[in-house]
Amino acid sequence: MCGIIGYVGPGKASQILTDGLKMLEYRGYDSVGIAVLKDGKLEVRKDKGMVEEVSSALAFTTMGGNVGVGHSRWATHGVVCKENAHPHTDCTKNIALVHNGVVENFSKLKSELSAAGHKFSSDTDSEVVVHLVEEYSKTQPPLKAFMRAIGRLEGSYAIALMSAADSEERLFLARRNSPLVIGVGKGEMLCASDIPAMLKYTKTFVALEEGDMAILSRHGYKVYSSDGSEVSRKQITVDWGVEMAQKGGYPHFMLKEINDQKHFISESLASDVTGARKLMDKYDRIDIIAAGTSYHAGLMLACLLQQQGRNAQAFIASDYPFITSPKEKTLVIGISQSGETADVLQALRHAPKSPKLAITNTVGSSITRLVDHTVFLNSGPEVGVAATKTFTSQLAIVYKLIYGKEKLGGLPALIEKMLASENHVKAIAQKLASKENVFFIARGRNVPIAYEASLKFKEITYIHSEAYPGGELKHGTLSLITEGVPVIALAPKDDTLQKLFGNIREAKARGGLIVSVTDDDEVRKESAMSIPIPSGLDPILYPFALIVPLQLLAYHVSVLKGINPDRPRNLAKSVTVE
């Protein structure tokens, strides 16, 4: 969840780290800090706050030096304050460390180190690691001391560390259950939690594997497995451009990414699903595991497979281990845009004997190493915390798996048409921005879209929102529908409309403010406000027509309320803790 970056080379480390942290801020944004080495001396600047404000208040880029580490934090241990911000240093202030993850045995290690005389300046679990390295460095050379310290850790970690006492300018890296990627430049080396932070410098990367450790110097890198032996890891190249991870003139990444959907949908539809389809045909039972938005794509896949008479079910990843015991004959499909969501990775590990398939956006991500086959979304980097373009890409892959590509040719044009409703959606957003509760209703295959629209709405507007299959309203929720409470009905003219119309009338009769997304004139007449769907659409494409304006609705309500939709409170992209 936290963002890590490291640099060693001829460039100005503080500038490269600060730029990188701006790109990584979506991983965590409660505090930020960098450490650089200059003339054998370590300098650390850090504080709570967003990258932009802290880096300018503390003048990060005035720091000299060609090697350094940086961190943007999403608090797990200890409150948000300067002391708990990374980098952390040892007692001698010679070693600096940044860490993402949770050191589960930190209290035992802390007692041991305290007894040996170490003084701690934060409440974090991370700080124990730098003191452990300090302790072992008293008797061992830097790499050995680092490896020995890493060997003591339980839990998850992505670590970058450097030492003023080291005879060379080097970074020491380690990863387990938290992402860390090496960027291979020309005469310079980088590391970061995510590829976008390094795109300006290189397109060649090495994703460290579980338990790996590594050393970076400006001349190259060496990777070691957990037993300390040197290993070789595959280099990958990506064709993402730097501009893909920039706002490109839009006020927010989220709005850019919503608009990007018209392009990336074609890239996703071009993704090769033949291997995945073969796997799906081979097994009788299919378990789909995912979290958040990806779970909604998973629900859609399960729904479409069930409509074909297949035995398929979608599970919330974090609950999967508690409610299932997958057999060898079950195909387990993990859906995760980041490929690093701890809940999803853990759920996949819960099915050791089952064949596995991943649907992800991230080349070289952890999920790809846990499965037999991967389908890539090809959506380019997604920076906004709220998933948008990767959701429609996931839907596109799901649809291609079920229907083949032939029926989906009209998707880019459909998305473009739905994007054109933005001004109209904005006017509706003005009517909703002052509400305290919002309900979304739909039926059948439109229900996963209602869940997704509701999640998007609540996470970036802070307005309480729930979604239901319309038929469920009368079984309890109707008691909450009073005068003026918005009920957003996903009401396309498909086989669900007649029944959903009944639910719309029920809600309206209780004073509900009906907002519909529809191509039906009667529904439109019953609605206080309505977003039009183009007429004559192939019914299977309705889910795409529904989600795009509802993403825009969430975005505009968020902006009207003065919230930054790219950085909703308490959340982070890529949730690497369970």
Interface contacts to ligand F6R, rule CB under 6 A: 291-294, 336-338, 341, 344, 386-387, 455, 459, 574-575
Q: The tokens 């338990």 sit on which residue?
A: 211
Using CB positions, name the residue nearest to ligand F6R. 292
Residue 394 C-beta: closest distance to ligand F6R, Å = 8
Burial category of 105 from C-beta neighbours within 10 Å (exposed 0-12, middle 13-18, buried 19 and up): middle
Reference 486, options 512, 507, 510; nearest CA is 512
Encoding tokens for residue 401? 């798996």
Nearer to ligand F6R, 257 or 520 (CB): 257
Nearer to ligand F6R, 188 or 452 (CB): 452
Residue 292 C-beta: closest distance to ligand F6R, Å = 2
Nearer to ligand F6R, 14 or 574 (CB): 574
Residue 101 C-beta: closest distance to ligand F6R, Å = 16
81 is catalytic: no
Name residues whose C-beta falls within 8 Å of residue 156's C-beta, 6 or more positions apart in sequence: 101, 102, 176, 177, 178, 342, 576, 577
Encoding tokens for residue 93? 């202030």
CA gap 359, 396 in Å, rounded: 11
Residue 502 C-beta: closest distance to ligand F6R, Å = 31
CA gap 347, 357 in Å, rounded: 13
Encoding tokens for residue 79? 């409150």
CA gap 544, 42 in Å, rounded: 52
Give the CA angle between residues 209, 214, 220 to the nearest 5°: 115
Give CA separation, 190 vs 198, 225, 424, in Å: 7, 19, 45
Nearer to ligand F6R, 194 or 494 (CB): 194
Nearer to ligand F6R, 244 or 344 (CB): 344
Please give the radius of gyration of the chain, using alpha carbons only, rounded to the nearest integer. 25
Cα atoms in the Cβ-side hemisphere of radius 13 Å centred on 33: 24
Nearer to ligand F6R, 1 or 541 (CB): 1
Nearer to ligand F6R, 124 or 294 (CB): 294
Give CA separation, 307 vs 202, 390, 392, 492, in Å: 45, 24, 20, 19
Encoding tokens for residue 72? 């943007």
Reference 284, options 309, 308, 317, 310; nearest CA is 310
Nearer to ligand F6R, 149 or 195 (CB): 195
Nearer to ligand F6R, 134 or 287 (CB): 287
Beta strand ranges found along 225-329 (DSSP E): 230-231, 235-237, 285-290, 311-316
Residue 366 C-beta: closest distance to ligand F6R, Å = 11
Strand bridging mode 67-73 / 356-360: unpaired
Q: Phi, psi at residue 377, to the nearest 5°?
A: -75, -30
Nearer to ligand F6R, 171 or 398 (CB): 398
Residue 494 C-beta: closest distance to ligand F6R, Å = 26
Catalytic option among 2, 191, 356, 400: 2
Residue 240 C-beta: closest distance to ligand F6R, Å = 17
Query: Residue type at 113?
Result: L
For residue 230, the Cα-to-chain-centroid distance in whole angstroms is 31
Residue 406 C-beta: closest distance to ligand F6R, Å = 28
Name residues whose C-beta falls within 8 Å of residue 384's C-beta, 6 or more positions apart in sequence: 26, 252, 253, 254, 256, 257, 565, 566, 573
Encoding tokens for residue 543? 């889910």
Residue 571 C-beta: closest distance to ligand F6R, Å = 8
Residue 7 C-beta: closest distance to ligand F6R, Å = 26
CA gap 198, 112 in Å, rounded: 38
573 is catalytic: yes
Catalytic option among 356, 456, 493, 573: 573
H helix or E strand, kind and range, residue 111:
helix 106-115
With b for 16 or more beta-carbon neighbours within 10 A and e for fewer, the 351-360 pattern comes to: beebbbbbbb
Sign for the CA dihedral angle at 395, 292, 424, 420 comes to negative
Residue 9 C-beta: closest distance to ligand F6R, Å = 30
DSSP lists the bridge partners of residue 175 as 158
State the CB neighbour count (10 A cutoff) for residue 123: 13
Cα atoms in the Cβ-side hemisphere of radius 13 Å centred on 126: 29
Nearer to ligand F6R, 13 or 397 (CB): 397
State the CB neighbour count (10 A cutoff) for residue 268: 26
Which residues are known catalytic residues?
2, 573
